[in-house]
Copies of this chain bind each other. A is one copy, B any other.
Amino acid sequence: MKKIYVVNLKGEKELFSLAKVFRSARRAGASKDLAQKVARQIEKSIYPGIKTSEIFKKVNQFLKKEDKGSSLRFNLKEAMKKMGPSGFPFEKYIGDIFSAHGYDVSLNRKIKGKFAVHEIDFLARDSKTLYIGECKYRTYPGERIDLAIVLGVYAKFLDLKGGNYFRLPKSVELKPMMVTNAKFSSQAIRYAKGVGVGLLGWKYPLNRGLETMIEKEQLYPITILPSLKRYLVEPCSQAKLMLAKDVLEENPDKIAEIIGVERNRILPLISEAKILLGS
Q: Which residues on the B side are within 8 Å of A115 (C-beta)?
A: 190-191, 193-195
Q: Whole-angstrom distance between the alpha carbons of A159 and B116 in the complex?
A: 21
Are A151 and B147 neighbours in the complex by a CB distance under 8 Å? no
A117 interface neighbour in B159, B187, B195, Cβ under 8 Å: B187
Are B116 and A187 neighbours in the complex by a CB distance under 8 Å? yes
Give A144-156 as 1s and 0s: 1 = Cβ < 8 Å from B's Cβ atoms.
0001100110111
Nearest-neighbor residue (CB-CB) of A148 within chain B: B152
A156 interface neighbour in B151, B156, B158, B194, Cβ under 8 Å: B151
Size of interface on A: residues with Cβ below 8 Å to B: 20
Q: Whole-angstrom distance between the alpha carbons of A155 and B158 in the complex?
A: 9
Q: Which residues on the B side are within 8 Å of A151 (C-beta)?
A: 151-152, 155-156, 159
User: Does any Cβ of B come within 8 Å of A114's Cβ?
Assistant: yes
Q: Which residues on the B side are within 8 Å of A147 (C-beta)?
A: 116, 118
Nearest-neighbor residue (CB-CB) of A187 within chain B: B116
Q: Which residue numbers of A lie inside 8 Å of B, CB to CB?
A: 114-118, 147-148, 151-152, 154-156, 158-159, 187, 190-191, 193-195
Given contacts A115-B194, A151-B159, 6 further A-B contacts (CB under 8 A): A114-B194, A117-B187, A118-B147, A151-B151, A159-B191, A159-B195
